[in-house]
Amino acid sequence: MPIRRILIANRGEIAVRIIRTCRELGIETVLAASEADRDSLPARLANRTVCIGPSRPTDSYLKVETIVQAALGTRADAIHPGYGFLSERAALASLCEAEGVIFIGPTAAQIEAVGDKLRARAEAEAAQVPVVPGAAVESVSEAAAAAARIGAPILVKAVGGGGGRGMKRVDRLADLPAAVELAAAEAGAAFGDARVYLERFVASGRHVEVQVLGDGAGGAIHLGERDCSVQRRYQKLVEETPAPGLSAALRQALHEAALRFVRRLSYRGAGTVEFLVDRDSGAFYFLEMNARIQVEHPVTEAVTGVDLVAEQIAVANGDGLRIKQADVHPRGWAIECRVNAEDPEHDFRPSPGTIREVSWPMAEGIRVDTHIAAGSRVPPFYDSLMAKIIAHGPDRATAIARLRRAIADTRLTGVASNLAFQACVLDDAEFQAGGVDTGFVARMLEAGPKQMKARHG
């Protein structure tokens, strides 16, 4: 039975993005919105909007039963969870399975397999995918023994964490006990799971991830990789595809490792396998798998011409993989920058408020994914992402130049934004040379906040 109506259990730009594809496919949309988002752009674009609860995510977007009830009550055939919120909660996928609602994503068992870092690591090892040297620990004394084996510097991570939350870097083994105790306490409070694990910190690493699509029966293809090394405190700021400066052999090895991992799981739907590439040795290690559509998926769409949301829906609908690996021919270069309502001059603090005026760029090779128009509100309850500007061109230099002009052409008043900061990233000589490591933004901020202000402030 084909999917005719989809409930979107998300907000912001990704809700708009999903609606866009649904319209293209002739699928009706129901938006499940919190009180703060009743008048948002996606609420106006959807065929119907139902208010699922108060503004706080725990009272609305994170309520599994309410979301499924909303789907049943509006006779939606399927739920698209977007990213964040419930997208990687096995509880939503399994309740959908029990109630006969199609979950547009992997199975609950697959979400569980990749959501727990320890299990994901074991799956990676079983699939002959290299992992960073490390160990799970349950006590400070265990941690000391493991750390002696692994060697400093060490990264302490929450087993149940994600998106960089709950991570601590330890440079001296003497500081390890305190860091482990703090990480365990924080992880317990944030994720309800106090387990931590230690792994070797790669001094100069790049974040390279592979976009995959699986049919749920062991078949899978990849759609190339993305480099997301431009990060601040593990939050991605600029993403591009292909990853600059990788040898053909390394690129192929990354793609094949990602496919081994997802085939082993008989993964269903769209997903991303993240790797850490050691800039010094060229070795790569599995980091984690994201079992959802990613924020940065548009760069992959730009170079491959594949609508990833449409493919997610097709797989969920039982159509399998409509694209063969041999049909994937990435063309040119694409770069995305995230436009966040945050103030780089005040340590990137969030800047919620009402948009007074906004003018998004329109030019050759430019795509803007956004839910922000004049009068839109940026509520304080959710993440600060306002838009993604994606530039596509025949080569990297052209894509950078187009994105740089697009940023200059953007007018946005009413809230602070990171646009000037993003322009600095694109202007930076090291970034332009390509292949920066994940320490790039921190070094840039240390070196020249004044310079940045002088040029763009």
Partner 1 sequence: MSLTAADVAEIMRLVEESHFDEVTLEVDGMKISLRRGQGAAAAAAAVGVDAGAGPADGAAQNAIAAQRAGTAIATPAGPSSAGSAAASNPNAKDVTSPLLGTFYRAPKPGAPPFVEVGSRVEEDTVVAIIEVMKLMNSVRAGVRGTVTEILPADGTLVEYGETLLRIKAG
Q: Give residues in contact with partner 1 (CB under 8 A).
A: 35, 50-54, 59-60, 65-66, 68-70, 73-74, 95, 99
Nearer to partner 1, 2 or 54 (CB): 54
Nearer to partner 1, 51 or 310 (CB): 51
Nearer to partner 1, 95 or 287 (CB): 95
Nearer to partner 1, 65 or 364 (CB): 65
According to the 3-state scheme, what is the secondary structure of the chain?
A: CCCCEEEECCCHHHHHHHHHHHHHHCCEEEEEEEHHHCCCHHHHHCCEEEEEECCCHHHCCCCHHHHHHHHHHCCCCEEECCCCCCCCCHHHHHHHHHHCCEECCCCHHHHHHHHCHHHHHHHHHHCCCCECCEEEECCHHHHHHHHHHHCCCEEEEECCCCCCCCCEEECCHHHHHHHHHHHHHHHHHHHCCCCEEEEECCCCEEEEEEEEEEECCCCEEEEEEEEEEEEECCEEEEEEECCCCCCHHHHHHHHHHHHHHHHHHCCEEEEEEEEEEECCCCCEEEEEEECCCCCCHHHHHHHHCCCHHHHHHHHHCCCCCCCCHHHCCCCCEEEEEEEECEEHHHCCEECCEECCEEECCCCCCEEEEECCCCCCEECCCCCCEEEEEEEEECCHHHHHHHHHHHHHHCEEECCCCCHHHHHHHHHCHHHHHCCCCCCHHHHHHHHCHHHHHHHHC
CB of 64 to partner 1, least distance (A): 8
- Do the Cβ atoms of 62 and 87 come closer than 8 Å? no
C-alpha distances (whole Å) from 264 to each of 253, 285, 364 are 16, 17, 41
Nearer to partner 1, 68 or 385 (CB): 68
Nearer to partner 1, 94 or 204 (CB): 94
User: Within a 13 Å sphere around the CA of 165, how many CA atoms are in the beta-carbon half?
Assistant: 12
Nearer to partner 1, 67 or 441 (CB): 67
CB of 210 to partner 1, least distance (A): 37
CB of 52 to partner 1, least distance (A): 5
CB of 74 to partner 1, least distance (A): 6
List residues with catalytic annotation: 292
To 5 degrees, how large is the angle CA 177–CA 182–CA 186?
Answer: 150
CB of 44 to partner 1, least distance (A): 16
